[in-house]
Amino acid sequence: MTITTALPRDFLYGFATAAAQIEGGGAESEKESGRGDSIWDEFCDQPDKIRDGSHVKKTCNHLAMYKEDVAMMKSLGANAYRFSISWPRLIPLGGKDDPVNQKGVDFYNDLIDECLKNGLVPFVTLYHWDLPLELSKRYGGWLDKEKIVEDYRHYAKMCFDLFGDRVKHWLTFNEPWCTAVLGHGVGQFAPGHVSNTEPWIVGHNLLIAHASAAKLYIEKYKSTQGGMIGITLNGDWTEPYDDSPENIEAAQRKMDFALGWFADPIYLGKYPQSMIDILGDRLPEFTKVELALLKDSSEFYGCNTYTTNTIKAKESDDEFAGFTTMGFEKPDGSMIGPPSQLGWLRDVPWGFRKLLNYIHQRYKKPIYMTENGWSIKGESLLSVDDAIRRYHAVRVPNDEGRVKYYQGYTQALKDAVEKDGVDVRSYFGFMDNFEWASGLIPRFGSVYVNYETFERTPKDSARTLMKFFKDNVSR
């Protein structure tokens, strides 16, 4: 008997990771694996760049434990696994004429096969921030459009050739905004540059690299491999502080500088006018050839989102927010949601529903939710033994905030689909991992990871999340 609910039978749900966040088991095993250094290896080597001094070379040991991880996901009820391929693990030096690391090829072949053996759809990201370090040294990485697009396209083609017979869901890039702004604007992420010109150059080059690889797939591989390709963008809902025209306009401007920067050229064929007005000649212009390349280069909208901000027109010095003032307070002095471990993250499920509707109405593409999660305040201060004992024995009060977050956001997703007619086709949560510049301190995962022993322990939120989709996906 077919049971019909709000979410379609082919809805994908499970856990999301990135190579740099989970693969490393230590410096020696990474060296033995043949992986070349990425810009994050160099960034982690610099004092005070990573909050707790941790390193991408030692994270969750997924390289050795992928079979256990896939089995755990299956046992929890997932039907898909979103992961990224490490460019320097496949091509240690990164360039189109550089040698391939067969150990890296073997690992991803084995991981994909293990997913399929366990009934998990592999949802693969080609680039999740770990640029081969050698390319940064050779020509500045994402700052050199001609060279980086050529090398990235070669890398993407290699992945399509090696894995496209089994991978049917591709993402070209994860959150290009972070690469451009955090990596080349404010210096918080690798490669750590601070500039008011580099981010716009890097963002432009990322768009062209995306389109080059996506069009290659669509024109040369799609008909035989039968998959789809797109890009995933980060961006949170921006709620006007009040209904004044200036705050409503400011909220749209902030949305332009977050989502619109990358989504508008891909889906609408041009940069947002507010960006053009503010940035002037610092924002590169697209050639006719580039605009043609961008058109129809993403078959869906990949969405990463976590929170909501209230936006005021009061001018700030944050150019990357369109000079708006972001906050969480409402006019009556209350906050729009409870706090997390991280200052930028609040639990605001109604904002998530509004965001899904905005994307659906503006860009008119199917939406794949590729990241969403919550970091509980103080969770990282628990001892390993205490955390695991609580998780196993007492249904951890410490995980209640994450359970509540997932309950709110998944219900908002269901309402967007069922009541608003939004076309959403996936949702991915997390396991604990290396959280970039914050190191191993914030825990976003619904699966606890002991970073010394690498033992995994599902939290209540993992079961809550998977049960929701078991109950709400048609079968």
For CA atoms 126, 130, 133, 137, give the dihedral sign: positive
Active site residue 400: no
Active site residue 175: yes
The CA distance from 287 to 330, in Å, is 43
The pair of three-digit structure tokens given for residue 146, joined into one six-digit string: 């001609």
Give the CA count within 13 Å in the CB-facing half-sphere of 398. 24
Residue environment code for 81-105, b if the CB has 16+ CB neighbours within 10 A, otherwise e: bbbbbbbbbbbbbbbeebeebeebb
Residue type for position 59: T
Question: Which residues, 6 or more positions from 55, have their beta carbon under 8 angstroms from its beta carbon?
Answer: 24, 27, 41, 44, 45
The CA distance from 376 to 399, in Å, is 7
Catalytic residue among 30, 114, 134, 175: 175
Active centre residues (catalytic): 175, 371
